[in-house]
Amino acid sequence: MVYNKNPMKDKLSGKILDDGLCLCDVCGKKSKLGGFLNPISPDPQVACYDCMIRMSAEEKGISIAAAEKQRNDALRVSRLFTDCKMKEYLAAAQKSDFSDIDEANKILQYVTTVWNTFDKKEKDKMARKKDDALIPLFENVKMSWGHLTEKPPQKRNDICACGSGRKYKACCLICQEQEKAEIEKWKRFDAWVIRKGMILLTESKDLDIASLIKFYFGKKREAEAKRYGITEQDMEELNEWLMNDYFAPDEPTPYALGRLLAQDTLSIDERKLVEARIEAPKSVYLVTFIKKGTGALLRNIFDQTEVFVHDTMMSQSTQPGYAVFLRVFPAGPYYLISGGHMSYPPIYLDEKLKEIEKAYKKSGQKDGVNPFLRRNGHVFGRLF
């Protein structure tokens, strides 16, 4: 399950004004909005443009003119990316212009969120390049335009919008209903896999479940659980870890999933799901687009891969631009999620990502953050 959390909005009430202005906490003046200071602290502050430039110059040991140039280059690059991708959408949709302001805003929000998945180092590197060198790079950033093109609502007896000439009920409606049935079939298979995995864990004679629970929660959280009781979310997180992320010493695959594969109790489709879970880390994604009642596009922060996950709860409980920490895995031609946590505005993300990057570098692994998270991701769940 995914929950929204945005306490910063209330704390900044009255400081952000109309027409791009703010009441600066640094100089006390009413001026052009520059940015936010200490956004994840109990007392976030607003800074005007001039103060942000001055502080950036002081932090980097450069002149105010150089700091302003860096800021302008960053804006230039982000605007170029936006312009490039907005045109790309129109070409993909075979349009010369947007149908209305709502469509333009929807695509702009998606493009902006995709841009936010690039980290500061990548953006700084881009800002040092000229436009001609950037355009080919931006063209190679894969987008999921197919999920953003909306067909007009149709009644059963309308002529289908796909152009087949047949009635909607005898054409695309059948395909849509078949897809829903397929997705539910894969979710049912996955529920069976989880059930078999939990039975395996319960019946295992070489696991000390009580010790594993103590290890997972730690002394402080265990003491809180004894005092206040274990919540439903606590149990969901524990079961998620036992099922997917507990590795016995010197074993290359998670305990439960590896032993499920070794048994002869899985169907072909169940085996595919277990293999998919074995490969899938808990990782950080930005929600780039939501299709209400169906699911959401999630883009991985670390490798920029983007997939559409079929999860009704997620489509109803988060919003574009928010970050989530969970597991995404293929189920046939579709994607499902596991181990949901609270969703956060990206402004809360920087410090959490620094912790993950720091641990990855310390580990000595060289094959990427996601492979590192496959074995260590549960540790960072508490950051989220």
Alpha helices in the chain (DSSP H): 8-11, 49-60, 64-92, 101-115, 120-127, 131-139, 172-203, 209-228, 232-244, 255-262, 268-279, 312-317, 350-363, 369-380
Distance CA 88, CA 306 (A): 17
Render pLDDT for 105-121 as a digit per residue (tens, 0 to 9).
999 999 999 998 998 88
pLDDT of 38 higher than 80: no
Q: What is the DSSP letter of 93?
A: T
Distance CA 296, CA 345 (A): 16
Q: Which CA distances in Å does 31 have to 45, 48, 49, 64, 317? A: 14, 6, 7, 18, 35
Name the band, by pLDDT with cuts 50, 70 and 90, for residue 316.
confident
For 322-327, what is the mean pLDDT?
A: 91
Distance CA 237, CA 134 (A): 42
For 233-258, what is the mean pLDDT?
A: 89
Higher-pLDDT residue of 14 and 371 is 371
Distance CA 366, CA 371 (A): 9
Q: Which of 174-183, 211-220, 249-258, 276-285 has the lowest mean pLDDT?
A: 211-220
Q: Dihedral through CA 92, CA 96, CA 101, CA 105, nearest 10?
A: 30
For 301-324, what is the mean pLDDT?
A: 91
Name the band, by pLDDT with cuts 50, 70 and 90, for residue 44.
confident
3-state secondary structure of 289: strand
3-state secondary structure of 299: strand
pLDDT of 216 higher than 50: yes
pLDDT of 334 higher than 90: yes
Distance CA 129, CA 141 (A): 17
Q: Which pLDDT score is estimated for 42?
A: 67
Name the band, by pLDDT with cuts 50, 70 and 90, for residue 1.
very low
Name the band, by pLDDT with cuts 50, 70 and 90, for residue 2.
very low
